[in-house]
Amino acid sequence: MTTVHTETSTERVPGRAWTVRIVGHGRTAASVTCSTPACRMPARSEDLAALRAFAARHAAAHAKAATVRPNAWCHCGSQHCGAHPDAKTHCAGAVLMILRHDPVMRRVWSVEEVCETCAPLIPNATVLARAERPRRTPDRPVAQAPAPVRPVVAGGFSSPAAPGAGDPAPVRRSRRSRTRRLGQEC
């Protein structure tokens, strides 16, 4: 089986894919193979229904064990979008985990990390999971100093006895009063 991905790297990595197949041997016997060499598969059997059930459970186990990586490239795009040759597109969007299984052929199950642009174009694909979007954090946190607390007097005026009020406030004079004063001095 696969291991759960726990790194939160910003470096792009190739999209993963696991393929589980039923391979026929002669007219009546078949076996199950997995693209992951470490997976243990059942022995060759004539019970095709049991092999199909095992293959479906095995593909589901790969999907459950794997965490969708938000920094993965689209696996479909790395294969030159061969899964949807009639619909040309550019890979974009969030990373999704899909399960591809053709109900007519009933022999191949694929679990893949693909982009959200390719996923709806791939026939017989079911979206299993979506990568979590990374939380945006500012590069430099802005430290905000709290405003000084000043007691408020009814009516919205500041209290003259407030701490730090010992400094005299600058006197504001209008231009009009200055003009009057200048005119009176002459």
In a 3-state reduction of DSSP, which class is residue 19?
strand
pLDDT surpassing 70 at residue 159: no
Looking at the whole model, is its pTM more than 0.85? no
Are 149 and 112 contacting, i.e. CB atoms less than 8 angstroms apart?
Answer: no
Least Cα distance to 61 among 113, 1, 104 occurs for 1
**pLDDT band, very low/low/confident/very high, at 61 (cuts 50, 70, 90):** very high
Q: Given this model, what pLDDT does residue 107 score?
A: 93
**pLDDT band, very low/low/confident/very high, at 158 (cuts 50, 70, 90):** very low
Rounded to whole angstroms, the Cα distance separating 91 from 93 reads: 7
**pLDDT band, very low/low/confident/very high, at 26 (cuts 50, 70, 90):** confident
Region 123-147: what's the mean pLDDT?
69
Q: What percent of the chain has pLDDT over 90?
A: 55
Residue with more model confidence, 12 or 144? 12
Q: Which two tokens stand for residue 176?
A: 């009009």
Question: Which residue bears the tokens 């470490």?
Answer: 38
- Which residues does 73 contact at the CB level (< 8 Å), separation at least 6? 12, 13, 14, 15, 91
Are 74 and 91 contacting, i.e. CB atoms less than 8 angstroms apart?
Answer: yes
Rounded to whole angstroms, the Cα distance separating 138 from 104 reads: 50
pLDDT, tens digit, 9 for 90 and up, residues 62-79: 999 999 999 999 999 999
pLDDT surpassing 90 at residue 53: yes
